[in-house]
Structure 1
Amino acid sequence: MDNRQAIGSWLSGPRAAAEEAGVDFGYRGEQLGLPEHGPGSIARPGRRLAALAVDWGLCLLIAYGLLTDGYDQATGNWALLVFFALGVLTVGTVGFTPGKRLLGLRVVAEGGGRPNPLRVLLRTVLLCVAVPALIWDRDGRGLHDRLARTIEVRI
């Protein structure tokens, strides 16, 4: 029986093993003073990825339809440039991209309010690099959000 329990804790990960040992991690966003559910709570990864896919698809359509003669390597480069401009302009002004708005998400500064333009620029550059967005903390924030001191929340 002990072997199965050890294997089960190994398969479910260190967090599950620590929780079984009595460690209380709380919910995502608790350390930031955010509610557990509903408006203002941390956006879940699935919704964030879906918003990213919508935004990337929109940027590909813009690059394909307006900036290039057909789909080739240059289309992807133009799409990345459009994605960068879309992120800086929309998150910097209204707090969300079209994909985030469609899925009910918003980017806010730590402590609430709109992030300043420099933080939005840093966040968008790191998001375009992609690697920081793939490294998450225990609250579910990507490294790009942590470094820019922003939080993606539900509207």
Structure 2
Amino acid sequence: MARWTGEWLPGTGDPTTRQDAPKWPGERFGLPETGVGAVASGGQRVLALIVDLVLAALITGLFVRYDLQNVAAMQTFNLWAGGVWAVLTVFPVTFFGFTPGMGALGIRVARLDGATMVGPWRALVRMVLTVLILPPLVRNVDSRNWLDRATGTVVIRMR
């Protein structure tokens, strides 16, 4: 079935019928179709983010008072929770390639150039772009979003 633009916009027909279209996400990078090393699904990535956000809120709740009826207390709580989330995101990804949520779901960030560590600037850029919300949602045929394309990375399965 052709895309809705395929009838009036040249060159935008169904990507599955094009000769250069990859058969699965990550094929262009030499990644397997399934199993260890395959590109992680969008659902796994979103669930890992939710796990990280909940973990950040739980850790923040140990040190910062929260009161759902008090707007000022919740603003302070949310600010601290955002900071804890940033730390939970940047440092583990820099050194290990995954956040606690990603580790729980068996996915990790890998560099396309084959280096073992993601590195601090890539992890920081990924965190900042995640805060903007839109970049993580826009994905290409390789299931790579703007975070991955900006940092030369891909999220893959570990198990």
In the superposition, the TM-score normalised over structure 1's length comes to: 0.82
**RMSD over aligned Cα atoms:** 2.1
Cα distance in 1, alignment partners of residues 110 and 14 from structure 2: 33
| 8 Å CA contact retained: 1:84, 1:128 | no
SS at match of 1:118: helix
Deviations 1:114-151 (A, max 9, x none): 21221111111111222211111211111011101111
Greater share of helix: 1
Cα distance in 2, alignment partners of residues 40 and 154 from structure 1: 5
1:78 aligns with 2:73: no
Structure 1: which 5+ residue stretches go unaligned?
A: 1-7
Cα distance in 2, alignment partners of residues 23 and 120 from structure 1: 34
Deviations 1:42-90 (A, max 9, x none): 1011111111111111111122232234342222222211111111111
SS at match of 2:57: helix
Match of 1:103 among 87, 105, 110: 105
Cα distance in 1, alignment partners of residues 32 and 113 from structure 2: 13
The residue aligned with 2:139 is 136
Structure 2: which 5+ residue stretches go unaligned?
A: 7-11, 69-73
SS at match of 1:107: strand
Q: What one-letter code is carried by the residue in structure 1 that aligns with 2:100?
A: P
Match of 2:90 among 76, 83, 88: 88
Match of 1:66 among 55, 63, 68: 63
The residue aligned with 1:153 is 156
**1:109-128 pair list within 5 angstroms:** 109-112=111-114, 113-128=116-131
After superposing the two structures, state which structure 1 stretch, 112-121 or 50-59, moved more: 112-121
